[in-house]
Structure 1
Amino acid sequence: MPESPAERDAARAAIADRARTPLLNLITQESLDQDYQHVAEKKRLAPPGEDASSGRPRWVAAAVVAAFGMLVAVAAVQTSNASDITSASRQELLGQIKARGDDAAAVQGELVRQRARNIRLQDARDAVAADERTTDNRRDRLAAQTGFGPVSGPGVEITVDDAPGGAAVHDEDLTLLVNGLWQAGAEAIAINGKRLTARSAIRNAGAAINVNGAPLSPPYVVSAIGDDRTLQADLLETTTGLRFANLADALGFRVVQNVGDLDLPGAPQRLLELLSARSGDDREPPARKKEPPS
């Protein structure tokens, strides 16, 4: 016959109770239930007046009880051991977690210190880079001012050539023109691409004029960077510039002046090498006393 809903609900409840019952209690309960069921079945099948328990020796019952007790004791011992192992494992796991936490905290602290160190190093590097840029700019300015660095800017070019069939341009003629340009406010000067410095010399070497030790040939192109609006006029306001203009007219030099943007190279680095030097100061030596006539 099919089961009724009430019977199905009761069966489900029994299964749920069995699932919730601890294993040790379940073994004990089922074992007792089976013993009771067996005794009851023996009593029901025994003839009237006969004791159903007389057929089983008492020692068998004692053995069953002893075995059951041993089973219970073994289960209790195993449960206790398992509990001890679980507790020890939990303590070991907690110890590992704490140790790993301490290691992570130490690594985090070291990371913070390294980040602070990196920031300090970055600041120091930025300061060094700023100093380097400042030094480079100062070096470039000094090189431009002293003539050892290339420069560009507006200015004038004055080309001087020998007189047709007449006088040749000499070193002192170019020296007058160069000194006049310096006095007129020129910032950089070159002759035929040879940059002039404080150590440059304009000297005649035979028929040629030497600048920075290199021979030049006419025409001589004197390039001067400065204010192209006033440099030419200011040149004639200087004593040496005016002397050069008068000399050029008298000797018949061909002079051409142009205004525009100029690019002047730097002087050769060999001019920076000192061949000789002596220590001293800028004081003039004392005048030599005249000896009385003998």
Structure 2
Amino acid sequence: MADVPDPAVRPAPQLPARVTLPLLTLITQQSLDEDYLHVAERRAATSPGPARIRPHRTAAVVVAVFGVLVTTAAVQTSRNASVNDASRATLISQISARRDSVSQLQDDIVAQRERNTRLQETLARTTSAEQSAITRMRRLEVRTGFVPVRGEGVRITIDDPPGADGTEAVRDEDLALLVDGLWQAGAEAIAINGQRLTALSAIRNASIAIHVNSRPISPPYTVLAIGDTRTLQANLLDTTHGLAFFDVAQQLGFVYELHNEDTLSLPAAPERLLRLRAAKAGTAADQNNHVDEENTP
């Protein structure tokens, strides 16, 4: 027989979870639940209501914005095209101007090169003429006695005959014959007893002494003549004045000697003989006229 529950006996009431759960578990669950609840309430308060979907208006706005963007791009492109066209035209104009300037400069360079060529030719002619003039001047300085000279030549020593009286002694005209013969034989410079001879030199007797350049000299007379030692003596014997001098020397018994010298030194002429009183320096035109006159038959 089954047991029948006693109505008088009531089941014990069930305790809540906060009573039966451990304290640590209860604190953790309540904290998390309150946090979740707090977050859910904040979301509910801040979130708007369900958005309405308006597909037609959204498409219209998108198309309008796209149209604005396209229009803006077209306007900007048109402006940029105008600016680019203007810049291109300016660059073309500048290039043309620069080309004209470069062409002008190239023409100037060609003209300057031609001018430099002409000037170089003129300089070459002038330099050649200058060198010729310097050479001519040096030869004239040597021949006229303006400068001391040095070179090979002939030394001629002349003395009176032993026991000679006044009529047999060497005279000025005897020395003049010898000097003229040396000039004819090709001598380039002559001195007698250290006196350089020029076109203005005089050989004269003053009393019993011979004077050269107004300076008295005494025997023996040393005549120095610079010239080609290979031909100077031989040429002297072939000249009229040279033959005349040697004839007189043999007739009167002059004592003379001729020697070739490797080096002779002759001084310059006295300064008073180098001053020109009437003659003046000519020009190249005068020289050309003189040459033309000589060439005229």
Aligned pair in 2 of structure 1 residues 78, 116: CA closer, same or farther (>3 Å)? same
5+ residue gaps, structure 1, are 1-53, 278-294
Amino acid at match of 1:257: L
Does structure 2 retain, via aligned residues, the 8 Å contact 1:171–1:204?
A: no
Could you tell me how far 1:190 is from its partner in structure 2? 1.4
Q: For the residues of structure 2 that align with 1:232 and 1:276, how far apart are their CA atoms? A: 33
Does structure 1 retain, via aligned residues, the 8 Å contact 2:185–2:235?
A: yes
Could you tell me how far 1:191 is from its partner in structure 2? 0.8
1:211 equivalent in structure 2: 212
1:17-36, CA deviations, whole angstroms, 9 ceiling, x for partnerless residues?
A: xxxxxxxxxxxxxxxxxxxx
1:230 is aligned to 2:228: no
Q: For the residues of structure 2 that align with 1:169 and 1:69, how far apart are their CA atoms? A: 144
Does structure 2 retain, via aligned residues, the 8 Å contact 1:177–1:241?
A: no
Q: How many residues align?
A: 221
Q: For the residues of structure 1 that align with 2:159 and 2:170, how far apart are their CA atoms? A: 14
1:135-190, CA deviations, whole angstroms, 9 ceiling, x for partnerless residues?
A: 33333444444454666665431123467787699996254033134236333321
5+ residue gaps, structure 2, are 1-51, 280-297
Aligned pair in 2 of structure 1 residues 55, 233: CA closer, same or farther (>3 Å)? closer
1:186 equivalent in structure 2: 185
Does structure 2 retain, via aligned residues, the 8 Å contact 1:159–1:255?
A: yes
Aligned pair in 2 of structure 1 residues 168, 101: CA closer, same or farther (>3 Å)? farther
Does structure 2 retain, via aligned residues, the 8 Å contact 1:161–1:254?
A: yes
2:91 equivalent in structure 1: 93
1:63-82 map, 5 Å: 63-82=61-80
Does structure 1 retain, via aligned residues, the 8 Å contact 2:145–2:198?
A: yes
TM-score (norm 2): 0.59
TM-score (norm 1): 0.59
1:1-294 map, 5 Å: 55-56=53-54, 58-148=56-146, 155-161=153-159, 173-183=171-181, 185-188=184-187, 189-203=190-204, 209-216=210-217, 218-224=219-225, 225=227, 227-231=231-235, 233-234=237-238, 238-247=243-252, 249=253, 254-261=255-262, 263=264, 264-268=266-270, 270-274=272-276
Partner SS for 1:199:
coil
Larger radius of gyration: 2
Could you tell me how far 1:117 is from its partner in structure 2? 0.4
Partner SS for 1:115:
helix
Partner SS for 2:171:
helix
Percent of pairs with identical residues: 43
Q: For the residues of structure 2 that align with 1:169 and 1:115, how far apart are their CA atoms? A: 78
**What is the alpha-carbon root mean square deviation over aligned residues?**
3.9
Aligned pair in 2 of structure 1 residues 67, 178: CA closer, same or farther (>3 Å)? same
Could you tell me how far 1:96 is from its partner in structure 2? 1.8
Aligned pair in 2 of structure 1 residues 58, 171: CA closer, same or farther (>3 Å)? farther
